[in-house]
Amino acid sequence: MNLGKIYVVGIGPGNMQDITVRAYNTLKNVDVIAGYITYINLVKDEFSEKEFYVSGMKKEVERCEQVLEIAKSGKNVALISSGDAGIYGMAGIMIEVAVDSGVEVEVIPGVTSSVAGASIVGAPLMHDHATISLSDLMTDWDVITKRIDKASEGDFIISLYNPKSKGRVTQIVEAREIMLRHKGENTPVALLRHVGREDQNYTLTTLGDFLNHEIDMFTVVIIGNSKTYVKNGRMITPRGYKI
Amino acid sequence: MNLGKIYVVGIGPGNMQDITVRAYNTLKNVDVIAGYITYINLVKDEFSEKEFYVSGMKKEVERCEQVLEIAKSGKNVALISSGDAGIYGMAGIMIEVAVDSGVEVEVIPGVTSSVAGASIVGAPLMHDHATISLSDLMTDWDVITKRIDKASEGDFIISLYNPKSKGRVTQIVEAREIMLRHKGENTPVALLRHVGREDQNYTLTTLGDFLNHEIDMFTVVIIGNSKTYVKNGRMITPRGYKI
């Protein structure tokens, strides 16, 4: 029997507009679409003729093992992540699970949340930037705090993924304190909530003030560099052009 | 007369597959497509019925002023960048030029080069990462070197944009020396050339060896963190799952 192929597909923020043509066509052409229930819900209406394999949260390894079995059975299968599958998504673990199996894994890139979120508020990511996840489920917190410190010292624009969840509320407080060692209180901050979803909304605030606004696990936090400014409601990091 | 609207559109790597549906439809619906000649050449066959405004390299401010005039004349105009327009692209300067004009500027996000390039070689960007441009045309070189140093010290995965051009060849050599203060010689490095174009190709190498391979201005260089490895030709940064 022929082996199927695995596609790890970044669907972008989650609507059918910010998905790439390649990702859309891949989902149209596979036999099975697999993924965490929240992401399956984002695509199931558009691809309702497909077979779905739905798995629960924090079952990432099992999900990948099951996807590998589906491919071994001869079916082409797309494992979906929101945003880009290669940025805190399913691409790495899927390749690790399948790397010795003989089954081909292709990664289809997508628009990651910080990029989609940045576009809503203007152009905050125009210069050198660092992306950091505040989730310490699988990464030691002292590794994360060191990265926040070094990125701040280097005057990077910083995008924080997974800033807060119901059970994880102190990390963002500590992250802010670390950033304030090197960045000013008036540094612009964008809180980008539910980017690309129906209830998308955002707040433009500052490093001094941003903890007074709503932040949840569906929020991306972008903190500017020393040159970032807000004008007429747009957050801009200049690249250096003389205007 | 009604004002037109400006869309700053990231077209992704440059083919008609890795463009988002929103970006594609925006280009289909505007009156004029504007941009640097290289990018216009990537889209002109697909949108051949459009009016084009083509401008030369290093004319970014004039390009934006001209786009603003087109919008003021009542036409809807898309200013295109490759990759994502908000990452070293045209979004920032376009907003800066138009911010007081009354003309609306909407940024349409796209797949940036490091993300598209990463997908080709596996999943190197799975953990915290920093994006740095080595172009010192508008940024002091000591700012850039400090960022390379801090990102390396923080054990970030690093994506280098604009690593080298005909007239700028020493920066990548110095960047490597700085990274070697904190990263090992065997750290995996991906050289991703002409990502998404017909002549796309790549080399998987190491921090010790990568300068022995071809690098040009259409190359993105991804340097792993301390946990990144290569197996069966795939470059993977593990996120920490137990497999």
| pLDDT for the residue numbered A32 | 98
In this complex, the residue of B95, B119, B153 whose CB is nearest that of residue A236 is: B95
Mean pLDDT in runs of 10 for chain A (243 residues)? 94 96 98 95 96 87 96 98 96 97 98 98 98 96 98 98 94 98 98 95 98 96 98 96 84
Backbone φ, ψ for residue A222 (5° rounding): -110, 125
Give the residue from A73, A74, A41, A71 showing the smallest Cα distance to A55.
A41
Say if residue B123 is in the same domain as residue B220.
yes
- Considering only CB atoms, which chain A residues are within 8 Å of B146? 154-155
Give the residue from B83, B86, B20 showing the smallest Cα distance to A19.
B20
* Residue B1: inside a domain: no
Compute the Cα dihedral for B86, B167, B199, B160 and give only its sign.
Answer: negative
A119 to B107: CB separation less than 8 angstroms, yes or no:
yes
Give me the interface pTM, i.e. the ipTM.
Answer: 0.97
Say if residue B135 is in the same domain as residue B101.
no
Distance CA B116, CA A20 (A): 11
- Considering only CB atoms, which chain A residues are within 8 Å of B243? 61, 93, 96-97
Q: Answer with the one of A76, A111, A146 that is the final residue of a domain.
A: A111
User: pLDDT category, B189, cuts 50, 70, 90?
Assistant: very high
| pLDDT for the residue numbered B86 | 98
Note the pLDDT tens digit of each residue in A200-220: 999 999 999 999 999 999 999
What is the end-to-end Cα distance of chain B in Å, rounded? Answer: 63
Exposed / middle / buried, residue B197 (Cβ in 10 Å: 0-12, 13-18, 19+)? middle
Q: Is the pLDDT of residue B114 over 90?
A: yes
Q: Answer with the one of B88, B111, B134 that is the final residue of a domain.
A: B111
* Residue A1: inside a domain: no
Q: Spell out the residues 6+ positions from residue A28 whose beta carbon is closer than 8 angstroms to its own.
A: A47
B17 to A24: CB separation less than 8 angstroms, yes or no:
no
Residue A116: its H or E element: helix A113-121
Note the pLDDT tens digit of each residue in B193-217: 999 999 999 999 999 999 999 999 9
* DSSP assignment letter at A210: G
User: pLDDT category, B116, cuts 50, 70, 90?
Assistant: very high
* Residue A200: inside a domain: yes
Q: Answer with the one of A91, A111, A131 that is the final residue of a domain.
A: A111
Q: Spell out the residues 6+ positions from residue B58 whose beta carbon is closer than 8 angstroms to its own.
A: none
Say if residue B145 is in the same domain as residue B225.
yes
**Is the CB of residue A39 less than 8 Å from the CB of residue A80?**
yes
Say if residue A34 is in the same domain as residue A136.
no
And the tokens for B122? 């596996």
H helix intervals, chain B:
21-29, 37-43, 60-72, 91-98, 113-121, 141-153, 171-179
* Residue A241: inside a domain: no
**Is the CB of residue A8 less than 8 Å from the CB of residue A76?**
no
Note the pLDDT tens digit of each residue in B168-188: 999 999 999 999 999 999 999
| pLDDT for the residue numbered A55 | 86
| pLDDT for the residue numbered B243 | 81
What percent of chain B has pLDDT above 90?
94
Cβ atoms < 10 Å from Cβ of B36: 20
Distance CA A1, CA A96 (A): 23
A91 to B126: CB separation less than 8 angstroms, yes or no:
yes
Say if residue B19 is in the same domain as residue B44.
yes
Distance CA A34, CA A40 (A): 7
* Residue A242: inside a domain: no
The three-class DSSP label of residue A207 is: coil
Backbone φ, ψ for residue A53 (5° rounding): -120, 110
Distance CA B240, CA A118 (A): 28
B119 to A91: CB separation less than 8 angstroms, yes or no:
yes
* Residue B242: inside a domain: no
- Considering only CB atoms, which chain A residues are within 8 Å of B86? 115, 118-119, 123-126
Task: Quote the number of domains for chain B.
Answer: 2
A92 to B123: CB separation less than 8 angstroms, yes or no:
yes
> Which amino acid is located at B120 in the chain?
I
Say if residue A73 is in the same domain as residue A176.
no
- Structural domain including A51 reads 6-111
Nearest-CA distance B92 → chain A (Å): 5
Note the pLDDT tens digit of each residue in B148-161: 999 999 999 999 99
- Residue showing tokens 């910080």: A114
Say if residue B123 is in the same domain as residue B223.
yes
- Considering only CB atoms, which chain A residues are within 8 Å of B120? 107
* Residue B137: inside a domain: yes
Say if residue B127 is in the same domain as residue B99.
no
If you average pLDDT over every residue of chain B, what do you get?
96
Distance CA A38, CA B178 (A): 42
Q: What's the CATH number where B76 sits?
A: 3.40.1010.10
Say if residue A104 is in the same domain as residue A119.
no
**Is the CB of residue A39 less than 8 Å from the CB of residue A27?**
no
- Considering only CB atoms, which chain A residues are within 8 Å of B7? none
Tell me whether strands A234-236 and A229-231 are parallel, antiparallel or unpaired: antiparallel
Distance CA B79, CA A220 (A): 26
Note the pLDDT tens digit of each residue in A88-138: 999 999 999 999 999 999 999 999 999 999 999 999 999 999 999 999 999
Note the pLDDT tens digit of each residue in B46-101: 999 999 999 877 789 999 999 999 999 999 999 999 999 999 999 999 999 999 99
A236 to B60: CB separation less than 8 angstroms, yes or no:
no
Provide the CB-side half-sphere exposure for A168 (13 A, CA). 16
Say if residue A55 is in the same domain as residue A141.
no
**Is the CB of residue B216 less than 8 Å from the CB of residue B164?**
yes
User: pLDDT category, B105, cuts 50, 70, 90?
Assistant: very high
Tell me whether strands B51-55 and B32-36 are parallel, antiparallel or unpaired: parallel
| pLDDT for the residue numbered B108 | 98
Q: What's the CATH number where A185 sits?
A: 3.30.950.10
Tell me whether strands B129-133 and B157-161 are parallel, antiparallel or unpaired: parallel
B18 to A109: CB separation less than 8 angstroms, yes or no:
yes
* Residue B243: inside a domain: no
Say if residue B77 is in the same domain as residue B122.
no
Backbone φ, ψ for residue B9 (5° rounding): -115, 120
